[in-house]
A and B are shown apart, each in its own frame.
Chain A
Amino acid sequence: MQYMLLIYNDPALEPAYGTPEFNEMMGGYFAANERMKADGVLRGGEGLQGVETATSLRIKSGKVETMDGPFAETREHLGGYYVIDVPDLDAALTYAALIPSAHFGTIELRPLMDYNPAS
C-alpha cells in the first residue's frame, strides 16, 4: 500500500538555522531518506516553502477567486511530504517515526487511493 506522510509543524518551534539542533534535524532527515531509499520503499517526497509563499484558489459560481495565504490559518503548517510503499500501516508508522519533525510537530499518515485495481 502507498501512504503519504504529511509533515505538519509550527515554524516557531522549528530549530533555528545554524544551531546544533538545526544540524541534528538535517542529519535526521538525511538518515530517514537514506533508510527509506535503502529499504526500497521511497516513492517520492518534497519539502515546501513557507506558508507566506502560499496562494489559494477556489471557483465560486464560475468565477475564479485567488487569495493570499494557505487553505486554513492554523499554527501548524504543511511543510512537506513523503510517499512510501509498504505492506501495512504498522510499517508506515515505523517510517513516520523516523521523520525528525515528529519531535516538535505531527506526521499525518494517509493511504493513497488505488486507481488501478485490476493490476
Chain B
Amino acid sequence: MSPAAPGPAAAIAVARELDRVMRSDRGRLLAALAAGLRDLSLAEEALQEAAISALGHWARSGLPRSPQGWLLQVARRKAIDRLRGAGRDARKAEALARLVVDEAAPEPEAIPDERLRLIFACCHPSLEMKSRVALTLRTVCGLTTPEIARAFLDAEPTMGQRLSRAKAKIAAAGIPFAVPEAELWPARLEAVLTTVYLIFTTGYVAGPGEPRDLCHEAEYLMRLIDRLRPEDPEIEGALAMMLLTAARRAARIGADGASLPPAVQDRSLWDGARLAEGRAILAAAVARRRPGPFQIKAAIADCQMAEPGPDWPQIAALYGALWRHEPTPVVSLNAAVALAEAGEPARGLAIVESLEGHLAGYQPWHAARAALLAMTGDRAAAASAYQQAIALAPGPAEALFLQRMLASLGT
C-alpha cells in the first residue's frame, strides 16, 4: 500500500478510483461473489457495503495494490457477517463454508472471471423475458435501476420490484450460477443470446440519443460471451448478426425521417469497420460446419447488404433453412417476401395470404402484404393494405415510409 496524502485531494482521488473500479469491474466482482454465495441480492449488498468502507480505508491507508481484490475480500467478509447475523440456515451455512475456503485463496487479485455463470443465471428460461433483460443489464452491465426503467418506459419502483422478484426467484427456485452441461447447453445458450439480442433491438428502436445506449451494452455483452466461450459458432453468429445490423444503424432513417429498408439505404452511411468485422466473424462461424439459427440470421443480414443490392434468391433460401430451426409464421412471412423480391411475387403473395389467420394482428404482415400486392399490380388492394399497415405502425418513421410507398402507387 502506498501512503496517500490526507485531506480533500486524497478523498477526491480515492472516490474517483473507487468509481473507476466499480464501473469497470462491478460485473466481474458481483459474478465472483454470487458464484460462491448463490444469492444475487446478498452479493450486491455485500459489494455495496465494501465500496462504502473502501472510501474510508483507502483515504486513510492509501490505495491497495489491487483495489478489485480488496473489494472482493471485504465484500466476502461483509457477506459472512450478514449470514451470521441472519442466523445461518442450512443453505446459507453451506455458502458460508464455501466463502471461507474462497477467502483462503492466496492471491486476492487473481479473481476468476465468473461472469458467464452470472449471465446464465440471469438469462435462465425460468425467469420472465423482461426480467432476464433487466437483470442482465443491472448485474453484468452495471446499469442502475432508473436507467433500466427509462429504457423500458417503466416507473422506477415497478422496475425495482421486477428486479427484486427475479433475484428472489433465483435464490428460492435454486437457479444455479453455472454454465449448463452439454445436454442443456443448446437451449440455454439460445435463451442467453435471445436475451442479449432483445437488449440490442430495444436500443436500436430507441435510437442512440438515450444516456445509456442499449446497442452498445448488447455489443459489449455479446463480445464478452464470445471471449468467455470462444469458438462457439452460434455465439459468433449472434455477434456477427448484431454487428451487421449495427453497421446499418446510421442509415436506418432517411433525411425526411422515414425508416428505410436496407435495399434503399445510403450505403455510404454504413459503418465499414463493423460490416467487415461482422462478415469475418460470420465466415469463421460458418467454417466450423455446425449451422444454427443465429448463423443463418447473420447470413441473411449479410445478404441484405450484398453489392450492388440484396441477394434475394439467397435470402429466400436462407429463410427456408431458418424455417427448419424455427417453424414460425413470422419466418414464413419473411421467406415469402424474399421469394417475391427474387422474382416470384405471385407465389410470395399466396404464402402471405395463407398466413392471415396467424398474423392478421401483426403490423409487418400488413406492410408485406401491401408491398406484394403492389408488385403483382393490384394497386387498389395494395392501397388499402398500406392504410392498415400505417394505422398499426410502431412509430412515426415507419408510418412515414409506408405513406411514401402508398403515395407512389398513384391511386
Question: Which residues of A are in contact with B by a Cβ distance under 8 Å?
Answer: 1, 3, 87-94, 109, 111, 114, 116-119
Note all chain A residues with C-beta closer than 8 A to B107: none
Q: Which residues of B59-107 are within 8 A (CB) of A?
A: 89-91
Do residues A93 and B184 form an inter-chain contact, with CB atoms below 8 A? Answer: yes
Assuming the contacts A88-B175, A88-B176, asked whether A94 and B90 have C-beta atoms less than 8 A apart, the reply is: no
Q: Is the CB of B175 within 8 A of A89?
A: yes
Asked, given contacts A94-B183, A94-B184, whether A89 binds B174 with beta carbons under 8 Å apart, the answer is yes
B contact residues, range: 10 to 19
Given A1-B174, A111-B173, the answer on whether A90 and B180 have CB atoms closer than 8 Å is: yes
Taking CB atoms and an 8 Å cut-off, the chain B residues in 174-189 that contact chain A are 174-176, 178, 180-181, 183-184
The verdict on B172 contacting chain A, using a C-beta distance below 8 Å, is: yes
Supposing A89-B124, A89-B173, A94-B183 touch, asked if A114 and B178 sit within 8 A by C-beta, the answer is no
CA distance A89 to B126 in the complex (A): 9
For chain B, residues 145 to 188, give those with C-beta under 8 angstroms from any C-beta of chain A: 172-176, 178, 180-181, 183-184
Give the residues in chain A near B124, CB-CB below 8 Å: 89
Asked whether A118 and B176 contact (CB < 8 A) given A89-B124, A93-B184, A94-B184, the answer is: no
A-B contact pairs, 30 of them (CB 8 A): A1-B91, A3-B174, A87-B174, A87-B176, A88-B174, A88-B175, A88-B176, A89-B124, A89-B126, A89-B173, A89-B174, A89-B175, A90-B175, A90-B176, A90-B178, A90-B180, A90-B181, A90-B184, A91-B176, A92-B174, A94-B184, A109-B173, A111-B173, A111-B174, A114-B90, A114-B91, A117-B89, A117-B91, A118-B89, A118-B90
Name the one of B172, B180, B181 contacting A111, with C-beta atoms under 8 angstroms: B172
State the CA gap A91–B180 with chains docked (Å). Answer: 10
With both beta carbons as reference points, the residue of chain B lying nearest to A116 in the complex is identified as B90
- Max count, chain A CB within 10 A of own CB: residue among B90, B173, B175, B181: B173
Task: Give Cα A87–Cα B177 distance, bound, in whole angstroms.
Answer: 11
Would you give the shortest CB distance from A48 to chain B, in whole angstroms? 24
